[in-house]
Structure 1
């Protein structure tokens, strides 16, 4: 079974590399694990790309289509404990980074395997990036992925009362936005009346900003590309896309896992203060002397997974 899963995984990666070249929408492939490793190793020679070996206790489903918009298909990869008839598992929606412009769901596979081995169902999600579709397309896609996960709960033995969003960098901003907009009419999708809700129950924001226009933020061109203009041109959009704007009594517990680079914490302390007023649990874990994309690498990967597991154990 393991050999078959690994074979499917390799075949899928080959298929993706070919199909990406044939897609009709523009792609930015600049944010890759290899390029990031080469860059960061110059400054920290001791880092290693984190690896999680295949394990008999987990199963993998790759490239399941969760949404089709015209000819465009969006896919999701699922890493899950071998199904138990007597027990359902919490779910985690994994959202990759890349400045809302680049990156790929396969960058979340290592984390997906690690979390599945701890008993979670991990959904690594593809979503439309800024060269293809500007904000709020990515948000709408991700909310549809939440609905898909709930609709297929029986297949993977998902506990639909325990579903969290986990994101890195731009994915962290998106994960936080999901958790702050459970009750918002702004992001209702076409299937909203015929499917489970897109509500989630917790957020793990890994170095994703909470506010675009903020004294701590230095978001510029890349954010403007996604948001359809700079702050002076579309201030309302910059505010609307900021998770900090949407904090309310309907917000969910959130874990911040941060690098030592302050600009990736923009709005964090303000959000904590607002959430505490509503009695909503927050937690911060910050690594000293780390690069921004620390989640890819040892020595930070294992402690990060442990922080996620401990946080979810505390709130669930």
Structure 2
């Protein structure tokens, strides 16, 4: 099924559309907009990958103060059902994380209007290799790289983490010798499995689901592919520490508890924070943005201080 490959950008999911939806039930929320922080340097629209004439870009936000200590890095992956959304949606988060001392990168990847799974995974692995290959420009500690994603981006972040050192997910490697291995994962309301009983993805009865568009197959026609893209399938000994920050929408973290059981078997650290009564799009708004930021900082200080 390739009907979703329209070649046209889907702009249906944006911060403005998320606000219009969320404010109906949460009238006091505030949409977080970009900051001007004197402590933060930024470089936008950096090409990290070329596929033919197609250029993929990321934006860099990093501490201005030159520090003898190398800086931990965070790759931030936007949501939008693998079909919509834009890296600019998380620039405020990247700016604030940079202010806290993390080099943060908001990243573009090919969506399902342009390319089917696993193209997005290959793009994001390439982005990790790119920031490591350019570590000197941003003063990065390449042994402290985190992937952070929201919604579909959370699923992708989790998949990147569980496929550390798995060549089947690398895609075409460029000439750089950098590794795509990450040392921590932060999943903001992203599913851990497409095939778990808790998953809501793949119900095409009313309209084609976002995941069906991304895979190019309904779940019943290619269940093995849906399982392959599920982070829970690959969780194991090599999986790094995980932070889950969740809304009150249970299906958005399908498979999380079973995923954590696997981590527990290998004594791998994980933690969960749930915002009761929060909408799925909570990372874009206060009153949830600030505590989300604190949870991220506390988690990374904990896992990296132990390295």
Q: How far apart in 2 are the matches of 1:252 and 1:81? A: 25
1:210 corresponds to: 192
Residues 71, 102 of structure 2: 8 Å contact kept: yes
TM-aligned CA deviation for residue 230 of structure 1 = 1.3
Say yes or no: does 1:287 pair with 2:289.
no
Q: How far apart in 1 are the matches of 2:45 and 2:172? A: 22
SS in 2 for 1:80: strand
Q: How far apart in 2 are the matches of 1:50 and 1:190? A: 37
Say yes or no: does 1:98 pair with 2:80.
yes
Say yes or no: does 1:179 pair with 2:161.
yes
| TM-score scaled by length of structure 1 | 0.91
**Could you say what the CA RMSD is over the residues aligned between the two structures, in angstroms?**
1.2
Q: How far apart in 2 are the matches of 1:252 and 1:290? A: 27
Say yes or no: does 1:247 pair with 2:249.
no
Deviation by residue 1:233-291 (Cα, 9 ceiling, x = unmatched) = 11111000000000111110000000011101100000000011011101001101010
| TM-score scaled by length of structure 2 | 0.93
Q: How far apart in 1 are the matches of 2:7 and 2:137? A: 32
Residues 210, 271 of structure 1: 8 Å contact kept: yes
Q: How does 1:101-116 map to 2 (within 5 A)?
A: 101-116=83-98
SS in 2 for 1:99: coil
Q: How far apart in 2 are the matches of 1:166 and 1:155? A: 21
2:294 corresponds to: 306
Residues 165, 180 of structure 2: 8 Å contact kept: no
TM-aligned CA deviation for residue 189 of structure 1 = 2.7
Which is richer in helix? 1
TM-aligned CA deviation for residue 85 of structure 1 = 4.8
Q: How far apart in 1 are the matches of 2:103 and 2:54? A: 25
Q: Number of matched residues?
A: 293
2:100 corresponds to: 118
Gaps of at least 5 residues in structure 1 are: 1-23
Q: How far apart in 2 are the matches of 1:34 and 1:194? A: 38
Residues 83, 157 of structure 1: 8 Å contact kept: no
2:215 corresponds to: 227
Answer with 48-57 or 304-313: which moved more.
48-57
Match for residue 261 of structure 1 among 238, 241, 249: 249
Gaps of at least 5 residues in structure 2 are: 1-5, 203-208
Q: How does 1:127-142 map to 2 (within 5 A)?
A: 127-142=109-124
SS in 1 for 2:263: helix
Q: How far apart in 1 are the matches of 2:172 and 2:219? A: 29
Runs of 4+ with deviation above 6 angstroms: none
Q: How far apart in 2 are the matches of 1:267 and 1:214? A: 6
Q: How far apart in 2 are the matches of 1:100 and 1:53? A: 27
SS in 2 for 1:176: helix
Say yes or no: does 1:151 pair with 2:133.
yes
Say yes or no: does 1:59 pair with 2:41.
yes
TM-aligned CA deviation for residue 52 of structure 1 = 5.2
Distance 1:185 1:191, change over 3 A: closer
TM-aligned CA deviation for residue 51 of structure 1 = 3.7
* Greater relative contact order (Cα < 8 A, sep 6+): 2
2:205 corresponds to: none
